[in-house]
Chain A
Amino acid sequence: MPRFNTSSAFPLRKAALVTLILTGWLGGAQAQTIYPIDRADILEGSKFDFKVEFPDAPKPDAVKVTINGASVESVLGKAGTFIESEEGQKHSALWAREVSLAPGRYVVEAVQGDAKKTVVWNVFPASGPRKAKNVILFIGDGMSIAHRTAARILSKGWREGKYDSELAIDDMPNMALISTSGNDTIVTDSANSASAYTTGHKSCVNALGVYCAKNALSLDHPKVETIGELVKRKTKMALGVVTNTEIEDATPASMVAHTRRRSDFNEIVKMFLEVKPDVMMGGGSPNFLPKTTPGSKRSDDLDAIAKFREAGYTIATTKTEMNAAAAAGASKLLGLYNTGNIDGAFDLRLAKKGSVSKFPDQPDVTEQTRAALKILSANPDGFFLMVESGRIDKYSHSLDWERAVFDTIMLDNAVKVAKDFAADRNDTLIIVVPDHTHAVSLIGTYDDNRPGQLLRDKLGVYDKSLPPNYGPLDADGFPTDVNTSRRLAVVFGTYPDTCDTGKPFMDGERVPSVAGADPKTFVANEKDCTAPGAARKAGNLPFEANTGVHSADDGLLTAMGPNAEKFRGRKDNTFVFRVMAEALSLGGK
């Protein structure tokens, strides 16, 4: 069926028009919108922006807002500012910025003519005795069940149906299923999902630390406080943000950022400068350099490296410098080890592709975790550390499962370092959780010795799914050879037009599709299609998708330490914030 079939597109448009008219007749204009949204769980004493948007740009005397039947001022301590026709748009807005509340149930009503909108907030207490001295939040970006199972087979060994040992991420006393949807969509992205962990609020795709209101500019949306800001404002704890992606990328940025658009990298660097986490490590140096420096991606003259240096930070650009800083007792460290993402474990150890030749001395996430713990644990008031293994997601987008699973093993090694640190202390809450999942499954093994020429001939399922014959493990539990004759068959449920080879991509990360002739369309990467036995697949995604996409499948959380017992059953992602805030008593004075 042609994509732009006018005969089918027209009735659709007509249907939309009819829907609009019906909406107008039946419900009047669209309703008032209140932020924070209905059923928001808010940490007592945490700061948030209260905003109500009224459609049709009414005047202030045409609307009324109450909280628990009382005036906004009497509850929030601020009457708020009413902006008629905000930004020239067709709505008016009431704003009360940086407010906070005591624990309790709050019913917010916004009345405009005959229309009444009600939302209920639950402001939860977290000012009891502090349960944990330290919290370490590990985020395996996009880490799904198949990544975990494959990592266990690759790293721990499989014999007669049992594994030879446990992954550190599995061997934890508490567990929960985590649902990751945003407030706008069933399937969300890493900005919104990480923001749920770091603020306790669900928001929309691409948003960090804000609700998605009608404001035109990405920095003008109603803000909610991040755990990074809370730790810095309310405690004397040390704060660490560690990733192998660019430090401005969604997950690490969620510790400090407030923007509707996650790609505001230059602004996000400024937000890191405002919060000043004691340890920050990742890639993404170009946004720290003033525009006059070749290699900069900034559009201004801010020299963020110089600013951090002035603030007492040691700057590390290699693993050697990182370890030297940790050994020398640095209390503040900014480690930037790549202009883009730090190379993943598969390239650092086996393939040596990506940017390994350009940046030969990059630390991996495990080594970064070790250095971060050494620095942060020197603080007598404890620390909050977020560690992300961020390329599990990126490699799953590119349908490169071996690279994703190597980075899952790397995360497991980092968790092992944290568990060793926490072992006898009983004062450190450790959480391991994905921010969302991918549609990925382990369905058998490809065996080159099976008869036939096609990839599906080589696939052994059920009684033919014999264990893989990967090379021996190195000292860190990574196989030293995965390009062997019998390999795991890991498949993705979402893909653009692409060619599967059933083999690891030793020449560099898989490029599943390339730009097609039609704008914003993508076709199979013919380089892969010429491989022996390659299987050509017609994409099952919208035409503008060039890689795999996230799934709404729940993610698996494991945890140990004080307050970890709260994790059981199924929880929303926002609950992770609550458990951490309670453990650290962040609601207290």
Chain B
Amino acid sequence: MGTRAPCQMDRRALIGGGFALAIGTYPAKAEDIESITFDGLYKSFGVLGFEFADRVRALKSKRVKMTGFMAPPLKAESSFFVLTRQPLAICPFCQSDAEWPVDIVVVFLKAATPAISEGRRVSVTGVLEIGSTIDKETGFVSQIRIVEADVQRF
């Protein structure tokens, strides 16, 4: 840490914090939004495939809230990131021998957002999408997504 230019990091942290604060006051009514968890995503989780939980299927196309960890992103500011159950020690984007965990949720943000990092938990609010999709820009395959999302520190 002592060898890094400290002012650069502080500035980014400040921007990130300020942004999160602004969207944290987004005027969505709490009762409109159902929370989902990594533990509640699947009703069966096997080697040959998963089945999404009935509750999660029922929430398809509805606004949901979910907490997890932001995987190290490709760029400092991005409108796309991967939400993981645990903080990732290894960035699969960055290292060729790293593989994504299977139970990830892909998040598409309303606007490019600075990465929230240092292993912090984040909270994501947005519309739940289910079904296999390949992101045109990155080629990333996902089965479950939260789109039009906002993110803030948990």
Binding site for B on A (CB under 8 A): 1-4, 189-191, 206, 246, 249-250, 261-263, 265, 284-286, 289, 291-299, 305, 315, 317, 336-340, 358-359, 397-398, 497, 511-521, 523, 525-527, 538, 543-544, 546-547
Nearest residue, chain B, Cβ from A509: B89
Contacts A190-B97, A337-B47, A518-B9 given; indicate if A523 touches B102 (C-beta within 8 A).
no
Q: For residue B76, which residues in chain A have a CB less than 8 angstroms away from its CB? A: 518-519
Q: For residue A517, which residues in chain B have a CB less than 8 angstroms away from its CB? A: 9, 12-13, 16, 115, 117-118
How many whole Å from B104's CB to the nearest CB in chain A?
Answer: 10
Q: For residue A336, which residues in chain B have a CB less than 8 angstroms away from its CB? A: 47-48
Q: Is the CB of A515 within 8 A of B51?
A: no
Q: Which of B79-112 contact A (CB under 8 A)?
A: 87-91, 94, 96-97, 99-102
Q: With an 8 A cutoff between CB atoms, is B49 at the interface? A: yes
CA distance A1 to B91 in the complex (A): 26
CA distance A206 to B73 in the complex (A): 22
Nearest residue, chain A, Cβ from B140: A299
CA distance A336 to B102 in the complex (A): 15
Within 8 Å by CB of A299, from B97, B102, B134, lies B134
Q: For residue A299, which residues in chain B have a CB less than 8 angstroms away from its CB? A: 134, 139, 141
Q: For residue A4, which residues in chain B have a CB less than 8 angstroms away from its CB? A: 5, 8
Q: Is the CB of A519 within 8 A of B97?
A: no
Q: For residue A359, which residues in chain B have a CB less than 8 angstroms away from its CB? A: 47
Q: For residue B45, which residues in chain A have a CB less than 8 angstroms away from its CB? A: 295, 358
Q: Is the CB of B96 within 8 A of A516?
A: no
Q: Is the CB of B117 within 8 A of A317?
A: no
Q: Is the CB of B118 within 8 A of A250?
A: no
Q: For residue A519, which residues in chain B have a CB less than 8 angstroms away from its CB? A: 73, 75-76, 115
Q: Lowest 9 A-B CB distances belong to which pairs? A: A514-B119, A2-B5, A295-B50, A515-B117, A317-B47, A515-B72, A519-B76, A293-B49, A339-B102
CA distance A263 to B95 in the complex (A): 9
Q: Is the CB of B97 within 8 A of A250?
A: yes
Within 8 Å by CB of A547, from B4, B75, B89, lies B89
Q: With an 8 A cutoff between CB atoms, is B2 at the interface? A: yes
CA distance A512 to B5 in the complex (A): 22
CA distance A294 to B49 in the complex (A): 6
* Chain A binding surface SS class: loop
How many whole Å from B114's CB to the nearest CB in chain A?
Answer: 9
CA distance A484 to B11 in the complex (A): 45
Q: With an 8 A cutoff between CB atoms, is B27 at the interface? A: no
Q: Is the CB of B3 within 8 A of A523?
A: no
Q: What are 17 contact pairs spanning A and B, CB under 8 A?
A: A2-B3, A2-B5, A246-B99, A263-B96, A263-B97, A291-B134, A294-B49, A294-B52, A497-B1, A515-B87, A515-B88, A517-B9, A517-B12, A517-B13, A519-B73, A520-B94, A543-B4
Q: With an 8 A cutoff between CB atoms, is B25 at the interface? A: no
How many whole Å from A373's CB to the nearest CB in chain B?
Answer: 23
Q: For residue B46, which residues in chain A have a CB less than 8 angstroms away from its CB? A: 295, 317
How many whole Å from A56's CB to the nearest CB in chain B?
Answer: 31
Q: For residue A338, which residues in chain B have a CB less than 8 angstroms away from its CB? A: 47
Q: For residue B52, which residues in chain A have a CB less than 8 angstroms away from its CB? A: 294
Q: Is the CB of A518 within 8 A of B4?
A: yes
CA distance A339 to B3 in the complex (A): 39
Q: For residue B8, which residues in chain A have a CB less than 8 angstroms away from its CB? A: 4, 518
Q: With an 8 A cutoff between CB atoms, is B143 at the interface? A: yes
Contacts A4-B5, A516-B117 given; indicate if A305 touches B89 (C-beta within 8 A).
no
Q: For residue B4, which residues in chain A have a CB less than 8 angstroms away from its CB? A: 2-3, 516, 518, 521, 543
Contacts A295-B143, A511-B89 given; indicate if A523 touches B97 (C-beta within 8 A).
no
How many whole Å from B139's CB to the nearest CB in chain A?
Answer: 7
Within 8 Å by CB of B90, from A2, A291, A546, lies A546
Q: Is the CB of A523 within 8 A of B89?
A: no
Contacts A206-B96, A517-B9 given; indicate if A525 touches B119 (C-beta within 8 A).
yes
